[in-house]
């Protein structure tokens, strides 16, 4: 039986110390994503934390929206306009730059007793499917064959969404075919593998656009393990 570190963890949608700037009015500081709470905002000027007593968090008067985003407004003109500014704040799940609305991020996690969380059987297979989908191919010098070219594809100036969806599907299918072939080679060497961790078939790969933001694509991979259990892996992709 094989195992791997469990990587997905719940995202807190926290933007930590986003670099921004002081506007020309010497009072306004704006951030790139909407704030979900005014209670969790922290402002830093040239690496020094700014006291909340000297600024307010208000609706951005320049925004043309029914629910305008929040901004930081100093009560008096900032006396050092050359200061660099950073802001930490919480945003919404659908605007989170860390998880892109997926709700999870990938980092090593620990159990309540301090041991590493491990994935086995179908959970291991699901994580391996994720690795072969989201890893940028050739980015790992030791395992250059793992992954897809989705990063390069999504960065291209392509406006034909049908073409983009077809290319994403092809990239993922090719990568998962490679993964299945590798598993077959491992099994032929006598490596112990459970039916749960072994990919039997990729049933479908579907790519749809988000209803609220067409630059976000929802990729759903339906697969079955050799154990007979069905697996669904979902990944949100952002077109740059």
Q: Is the distance from CB of 21 to CB of 45 less than 8 angstroms?
A: no
* CB atoms closer than 10 angstroms to residue 125: 30
| CATH 3.10.450.40, the chain: domain bounds | 120-238
**Apex CA 184: angle with CA 179 and CA 189, to 5°?**
125
CA-wise closest residue to 68 among 22, 98, 34 = 34
Which residues, 6+ apart, have CB-to-CB distance to 82 below 8 Å?
none
d(CA 96, CA 13): 5
CA-wise closest residue to 57 among 90, 24, 11 = 90
Q: At 97, give phi and psi (nearest 5°).
A: -75, -10
Tens digits of pLDDT across the chain (240 residues)? 444 444 556 678 889 899 999 999 999 999 999 999 999 999 999 999 999 999 999 999 988 877 889 999 999 999 998 899 999 999 988 888 877 776 666 544 444 445 445 667 888 898 889 888 888 888 777 778 788 888 777 766 666 788 888 999 999 999 999 999 999 998 888 888 899 999 999 999 999 988 777 778 889 999 999 999 999 998 888 776
d(CA 194, CA 135): 24
Q: Is the distance from CB of 22 to CB of 85 less than 8 angstroms?
A: yes
Q: What is the pTM of this model?
A: 0.54
Span 120-238 CATH architecture: Roll (3.10)
Strand-pair category, 216-225 with 199-209 = antiparallel
**pLDDT tens track for 142-167:** 778 788 888 777 766 666 788 888 99
């Amino acid at each position: 039986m094989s195992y791997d570190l469990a990587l997905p963890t719940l995202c807190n949608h926290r933007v930590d110390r986003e670099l921004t700037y002081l506007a020309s009015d010497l009072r306004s500081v704006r951030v790139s994503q909407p704030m979900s709470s005014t209670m969790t905002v922290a402002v830093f000027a040239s690496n020094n934390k700014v006291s909340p007593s000297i600024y307010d968090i208000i609706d951005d008067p320049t925004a043309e929206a029914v629910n305008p985003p929040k901004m930081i407004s100093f009560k008096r003109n900032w006396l050092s306009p050359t200061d660099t500014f950073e802001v930490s704040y919480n945003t919404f799940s659908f605007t989170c730059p860390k998880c892109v609305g997926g709700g999870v991020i990938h980092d090593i996690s620990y159990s309540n007793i301090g041991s590493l969380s491990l994935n086995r059987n179908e959970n291991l297979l699901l994580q391996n499917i994720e690795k072969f989908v989201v890893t940028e191919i050739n980015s790992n010098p030791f395992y250059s064959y793992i992954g897809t070219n989705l990063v390069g594809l999504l960065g291209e100036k392509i406006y034909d969404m049908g073409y983009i969806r077809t290319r994403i599907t092809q990239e993922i299918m090719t990568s998962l075919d490679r993964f299945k072939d590798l598993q077959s080679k491992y099994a032929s060497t006598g490596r112990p593998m459970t039916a749960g961790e072994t990919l039997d078939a990729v049933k479908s790969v579907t790519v749809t656009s988000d209803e609220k933001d067409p630059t976000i694509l929802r990729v759903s991979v339906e697969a079955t393990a050799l154990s007979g259990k069905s697996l669904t892996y979902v990944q949100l992709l952002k077109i740059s």
